[in-house]
Amino acid sequence: MLRLQKLSKTYKTGDQALTAIDLDVPKGQVLALIGPSGAGKSTMIRCINRLVEPTGGAVLLDEVDLTGLGPGRLRKARREMGMIFQEYALVERLTVMENVLSGRLGYVGFWRSFLRRYPQSDVDAAFRLLDRVGLLHMADKRADELSGGQRQRVGICRALIQQPKLLLVDEPTASLDPKTSRQIMRLITELCQERGLAAIINIHDVALAQMFVPRVVGLRLGEIVYDGLPTGLTPDKLTEIYGEEDWEATIEKVEDEEIEAAE
Amino acid sequence: MSHRELDDMLGKGWRKPAFVRNPLLRWGLGLGFVAYLIAAVLTIEVDWGRVYEGLDRGWAFILAFTSPDFLSRWSDIWSGLLESIVMTVAASVVGIAISIPIGLGAARNIAPLPVYVICRGIVAISRALQEIIVAILLVAIFGFGPLAGFLTLSFATIGFLSKLLAEDIEAMDKAQAEAIRASGARWMQWINYGVQPQVMPRLVGLSMYRIDINFRESAILGLVGAGGIGATLNTAFDRYEYDTAAAILILIIGIVMALEYLSGIIRARVQ
Amino acid sequence: MPVLERAGMQIWRRRTGRDSLIRWFGWLIGVAVFVYCWQIISASTTWFFVWDAPRIANDIWTRATPPRWEYITQLGRPIWDTLNIATLGTLIALCLAVPVAFLAARNTTPSALFIRPVALLIIVSTRSINSLIWALLLIAIIGPGVFAGVIAIAIRSIGFCAKLLYEAIEEIDSGQVEAITATGASRWQVMAYGIVPQVLPAFAGIAVFRWDINIRESTVLGLVGAGGIGLQLSASLNVLAWPQVSLILIVILVAVLISELVSAKVRGAII
C-alpha cells in the first residue's frame, strides 16, 4: 500500500539524512522504525507526508506518487495519513474537542471550520473516539489542562478521525513515563488492528517496540540496516544499528500473547 | 462537569464553550461595546469635503518623500537636529545617573521602607506626567530653549528607568545576593558584588532603549518651545513645505533606526 | 585572568593594562561629549530667567491654586472625545497591524525577500515618529479636529502593535502548526487553528497595553489642534488662565491613572 522508492533527503546544510530508502508497507501492517538519534527516523516519516520535502525518490501511496503532487492534491493525500507526534503537538489553547475535530480540517471548508460548525457525522465520530480512549468527559477541557498520557490520547483521536489508511507515529512515548508509554503503545496497536490500519512507529525504546510490533526496521545514518521480526534483533544486529554496547539486558523475552496482541 | 454517556451525546450538536460563560453578561458586554462604538463614531465630526480636498495634499506629501529637500533649509535642520541630539545625550546621561540610586531605593528587597516610599513617589509622579506637559510647565518657568527640554527628558528618564530597574532588582536571584552578604560585605560592597552583576545587562539594555525614546521625544519638544528639531518641523508644516518636512522625518527615522541597530549590538555584547 | 609579576610577587588585577587603558579612554571621551553637550545647552539658555525660576514657579503656583472646579462642566465633551480618539485609534491600528505583523514575521511572511522588508519599513517608520507629529501632519492635510487625532493615533500605533505582534508570532511552537498541516488543512485553516490560538493572548495584551498608552497620548493631541482635552489645555494656556490649567492637569492625571488601572486589570484577567 505504501512504497518508498529510493527516497532520499539532503538538507540545505549538506547533511544527508536519508540515502535511497526502499521500503514496502502492506495494508494493515504495523512496523516499528528504530535507530539512534540522527539516524533519519523523523525525517523519513516527515518525507512521507511531505512536512519535509524529499530531495529524491518516490513515495507511492496506493500507486500514487506523493512527491509530485500540487498543493491541493497534497492536502487530499495528507488526509489519508494520520500523524501522531512526540510532544503531542496539540493546539494547547483550544479545547480537546476542537483538537480532535481539527483532524477533519482537510474535509471541511474554511468558514465551516472557522465557525466550528462541523457536520454532525464528524461530531459523532469525535465523541465515539473520545469515548474509545476514555476521555469523553474531558471534551470541553482546554488541551493544556491535560496530563501527558491524556494529551497523547487526544493526539491519537485527531489522527484517527481523519479516517486514514496509514498512521505516521513519531516517538509517541518519548515524553511519557514507562507505564503510560506501554498503555499508549497498546492503544495505538489495538486501534490499528480494529481498523486495519498500517502504521510506521518511530521509536527509540527497542524493548517497547519488540513488545508490540510484528516487524522492526532499523535505520542507521539514513540507511536501512535491519528489516525483520522483532525476535531477530540479536546483540550483533543492535550493535550494527546503534554501535558498541552491552545489549544482553535490553533484549527481552517477548511473551507470546503480546506478539499476538500486536499482530 | 458530570460524566456523560456516549449514547446521550451522539446525535447532539457540539458548540465551543463560550469565553464568557454567563450568556447575559456575554450579550451585555457585546451590545455595550457595539453601542459605544456607534456613539463614538457618530459624535466624531468629519468634514468630508475638507478631507477630500486634503487628499491632494496628502498625495503631495507622500510624493515629497521621493524627493526630500535637505538643502534649502539645511542650516535650520542642522541646528535643530544638533540641539535634539545634544538634549538627548545630556538628558540621558543625567537621567540614567539619577535613576540608578532612585531605582535602588524603589526596590523593596534592598531599601528601607521610608526610602522606598519616597523613591516610589518620585517614580509615580514622573510616570504620570507626560513629557509634553512637563515641557510646557518647564518652559513657563525656565524660559524657551533646550534647557527646558533637557530637564524634561531627564525627568522622564528617571520615571521610566527607575521603575524598570527596581522591578528587575526585586525579581533578582536571592541566593547570589545572600552569598555575598554572608561573606560579611558592607552595603556598598553587597550592591557592587551581589546585585550589580545580576541587573547590569538589563540596565544597559533599558538605558539604550531610553536613549532611543529620548531622541524620539526630543523631536516633539520643539512644538512647545523646549528646543530641538520639532520647531523646524512645525515651521515646515505651517508653510506647507512638505519636501523639507519629509527630509526631517527621513532624518528622524534614519537616526532612530541607527540607534536601534546600535542598541541591538550593544545588548548582544553585554548579555 | 590577568596576573602581574612585580618584584617576584603575583598581583591579581581585574583587567589587563590594555583593557583598563581602553576603558579609561572610553570614559574620558564620554565625559568630554557630555561637557560639550552641556556647553551647547548652556550657551542657548538665558541664565537670567533660570536664576529667576524659583520666583516664577512660586508665582505660577499661587495663580494656579485653587483649581477652578466649576470649569469641569465644560470638560465633559473634550473627555469623551479624548476617550474616542484613543479607543477608535487603537481599533483601527489593530486592524491594520495584524496583516502587517503576519507579513513581517519570518515564519508567516509569503516572501522574506520582498514583502518582509516592506512590512518592516512600515513598522519602523510609523513607530519612530511621535503621534503629535503625525497629528501635525494630518492637520495640515485634512484639517484640525477629532478625526485627525484618531488617524494620528492609529498610524502611530500600527508600528508599535505590529512589532510586538510579529515577535509573538515568531515565537510560536512550530510543532502545533506542523500537526495541523499534517491533517491536510489548507493555508488559511493552518492559520486559524495552528497560529491564531497561539498568539491570541499576546494580541489581547498588546491591544490593552497600547490603549493605555493611547489614552495618555490623546490627552495632549489637542495642543496641536487634533481634538480632545488638550484643546482646552492649549486655550487656557494661551490666555494664562492658570486655575483652569491646573484643573485640566488634574483631570488628565486621573484619566491616566484610571486607564492604567483598567489595562492592568484586563491584562491580569487574560494572561
Domains of chain B: 73-270 (1.10.3720.10)
CATH architecture for the domain at A1-69+206-263: 3-Layer(aba) Sandwich (3.40)
CB atoms C176 and A89 under 8 Å: yes
pLDDT at A200: 93
Q: Is C201 part of the contact surface with chain A (CB cutoff 8 Å)?
A: yes
What number is the ipTM of this complex? 0.85
Task: Give the residue with greater pLDDT, C268 vs A74.
Answer: A74
pLDDT above 90 covers a percentage of chain A that reads 34
**DSSP 3-state of C113:** coil
pLDDT at C72: 83
HEC string of A203-244?
A: CCCHHHHHHHCCEEEEEECCEEEEEECHHHCCHHHHHHHHCC
Q: At a CB cut-off of 8 Å and minimum separation 6, what does C190 contact?
A: C177, C180, C181
The rounded mean pLDDT for chain A is: 86
Q: Report the Cα C232 to chain-centroid distance in Å.
A: 23
The per-residue pLDDT for range A50-103, each reduced to its tens digit, is 988 899 889 998 888 988 888 889 998 999 999 999 888 899 889 999 999 999
User: Which chains pack against C, by 3+ Cβ pairs within 8 A?
Assistant: A, B
**DSSP 3-state of B69:** coil
Dihedral (Cα; B115, B117, B119, B125), 10-degree rounding:
-160
Could you list the pLDDT tens digit for every one of the 271 residues in chain B? 445 577 777 877 788 887 777 888 889 989 999 999 999 888 887 878 888 888 888 888 888 888 888 888 888 889 889 989 999 999 999 999 999 999 988 888 888 889 999 998 898 888 888 888 899 888 888 888 888 899 999 999 999 999 989 888 888 877 887 888 788 778 888 888 888 888 888 888 889 889 988 998 888 888 888 888 888 888 888 888 888 888 998 998 899 888 888 888 888 887 6
| Least trusted range by pLDDT, from A23-32, A151-160, C46-55 | C46-55
Nearest to C145 among B40, B45, B230 (CB): B45
The span from the CA of C208 to the CA of C93, in Å, is 12
Sign of the CA dihedral running A89, A93, A94, A96: positive
The span from the CA of C251 to the CA of C263, in Å, is 18
Q: Is B1 part of the contact surface with chain A (CB cutoff 8 Å)?
A: yes
CB atoms B141 and C136 under 8 Å: no
Task: Give the residue with greater pLDDT, A256 vs A203.
Answer: A203
pLDDT at C51: 84
> Where are the strands (E) in chain A, listed by range?
2-10, 16-25, 30-34, 56-61, 64-65, 81-84, 166-170, 198-202, 215-220, 223-228
**DSSP 3-state of C11:** strand
Residue B106: which of B162, B174, B172, B157 has the closest Cα? B162
CB atoms C45 and B132 under 8 Å: no
The pTM for the full model equals: 0.83
Domain with CATH 1.10.3720.10 in chain C: 74-270
Domain ranges of chain A: 1-69+206-263
The per-residue pLDDT for range A228-251, each reduced to its tens digit, is 888 888 888 888 888 777 776 666
Q: Is B269 part of the contact surface with chain A (CB cutoff 8 Å)?
A: no
Q: For an interface test with C, which of B53, B223, B269 has the most C Cβ atoms less than 10 Å from its Cβ?
A: B223
Tell me if the domain spanning C74-270 has CATH number 1.20.1050.10: no
> Where are the strands (E) in chain B, listed by range?
none
